[in-house]
Amino acid sequence: MNSKIITHFFILCLMFFSLSIYLSISVSIFDGSIIRNNNRRIDLTNYFPFTNIIVKTNKETQNNNTYYNKIKSILTRIDNSASERIAFRYKFCELHGLISKLMRINLFLEVETIVLENDYLCLVEKATSPNIIINNIIDFDKWIKNNLPSTNLIYIQYPCKISKYYDKLPNGIEDARNIIADKIIQSLSNHNIKNLDLRENINNQKLNHHDLFFKTDHHWKPETGLWATKEICKYFNKLFNYKFDYDLLSIGNYTKKTIKDSLLGSLGKKLTLGYTKPESINVFYPKFQTKLLLDTLKIQVKGSFDTIFINNEEVNNKNYNYYKDTRYNFYISNYDIDVFYTVTNELSENDLTCLFLVDSYNAVVSPFLALMCKKIIIINPRRFNGSIKTCIKKYQPNIVCIAYTARIPPKDNTSYDWKLYQFE
């Protein structure tokens, strides 16, 4: 009997390691990335040109990076296409996930993912120096003060999935994102740059950190974006004596629609349905009247919050693929508004203009922020190819916000996140 158990265990281990090798070859489809269609992009340098030789040199570097990224994207697609043709690939990968689950493996360094309690999936990465980030923000603040003295720069630190206060990580794994975020906040405070650290708001309000995020995705939930927008508006009111009616951001003022078991997030795609389960996502519709004007420089659209921001066709889509589709972008997939757009609130009781430099966490913040300000300008620096400074000069905003989640600083200009911290 014992020999049979040993034999079965040996076969199980052999299967596991064989599938690990298999997965290492074919895991690229589950890296959590979404390939967007860039065919409709416009050249934003025509609207927001760079103004001096040094910046033009930087722009040439950015163009070179664009060529590099295009080549990299082509090679990735070729790799994915070849992997797609492997028979029963999804089932094999799910079997790998199931075996990992049964063996209680919670550390997947090949895809930079760890599993905490209750199948809560998190990214882990090695720390790099945040000095470039800090210096660029300090220089950006000086430029704003010299050129637009009535405009205020604010750095908003969004949390990452790992709480710096109570999450315990496996031995040898460092919580690099929160360590780096602490260094950035401390340095900016030392230079008298205004900042809001939402990690502290979460802790002070004794919120359950894990409940604010999806289990299988690296993003926070739409209801958390609604909460974050309210905290931002409270901060603005306190700092500048604004009169934002942030009670409109109370969750009771919204109709909630739950799409059950429809989301397998970026991290869940890596570990597959063999390891984890799909989860539900909520979509929020204002109960009060809204009247907005969206301008993407390609099109202008007038309509309600629902018309401008929520892709109801995607919300109601029942034929989604867990591994190929993302359900997080309900709020940004309308009108291709993931690079640059402005929204004018025609029912606003104030004349405030806010410009936000954003990452993907803002997909569930910017729509609600549009209900608070007269105008918002949203720039995703990763994809924005114009001059940020020219854009700021054109719109003369009351506030410029850098609003990013805690992240690992990019190593060089080939990194996906490099342009998040280039403020030219």
Q: Examine residue 378 and state whether it is found in any structural domain, yes or no.
A: yes
Q: What is the average pLDDT across 340-357?
A: 96
Q: Examine residue 89 and state whether it is found in any structural domain, yes or no.
A: no
Which residues pair with residue 353 across a beta bridge? 375
Q: What is the average pLDDT across 106-116?
A: 87
pTM of the model: 0.85
pLDDT at 53: 47
Residues 6+ apart with CB under 8 A from 350: 242, 243, 244, 373, 374
Q: What string of DSSP letters covers 115-179?
A: EEGGGEEEE-------HHHHHHHHHHHHHHHHH-TT-EEEEEEE--SS-TTT--PPTT---HHHH
Dihedral-angle region of residue 102 (phi above 0 means left; psi in -120 to 50 means alpha; beta otherwise): alpha
Tokens of 392: 């700021």
Q: Which helix (H) or strand (E) holds 293?
A: strand 292-295
Which residues pair with residue 115 across a beta bridge? 121
**pLDDT tens, 237-259?**
999 999 999 899 999 999 999 99
pLDDT at 73: 66
Would you say residue 295 has pLDDT above 70? yes
CA 12 to chain centroid, in Å, comes to 38
Would you say residue 334 has pLDDT above 80? no
**Percent above pLDDT 70 for the chain:** 81
**pLDDT tens, 306-323?**
999 998 888 888 888 888
Q: Which residue has the higher pLDDT, 20 or 254?
A: 254
Range of the domain at 413: 37-74+121-421
Q: Examine residue 389 and state whether it is found in any structural domain, yes or no.
A: yes
Q: Examine residue 95 and state whether it is found in any structural domain, yes or no.
A: no
Segment among 43-47, 53-57, 129-133, 403-407 with least mean pLDDT: 53-57
Reported as a pLDDT band with limits 50, 70 and 90, residue 36 is very low
**pLDDT tens, 162-202?**
999 988 888 888 889 999 999 999 999 999 999 999 999 99
Q: Examine residue 6 and state whether it is found in any structural domain, yes or no.
A: no
Q: Examine residue 104 and state whether it is found in any structural domain, yes or no.
A: no
Q: Which residue has the higher pLDDT, 373 or 173?
A: 373
- The top-scoring range by mean pLDDT among 134-138, 244-248, 328-332, 418-422 is 134-138
pLDDT at 15: 55
pLDDT at 141: 97
User: 């940020």: which residue's tokens?
Assistant: 388
Q: Examine residue 8 and state whether it is found in any structural domain, yes or no.
A: no
Task: Give the whole-angstrom CA distance, residue 16 versus residue 100.
Answer: 8
* Number of domain units in the chain: 1
Q: What is the average pLDDT across 395-422?
A: 90
Task: Give the whole-angstrom CA distance, residue 372 versus residue 354.
Answer: 10
Q: Examine residue 200 and state whether it is found in any structural domain, yes or no.
A: yes
Task: Give the whole-angstrom CA distance, residue 351 versus residue 374.
Answer: 5
pLDDT at 13: 56
Question: Residues 12, 99: contact at Cβ < 8 Å?
Answer: yes
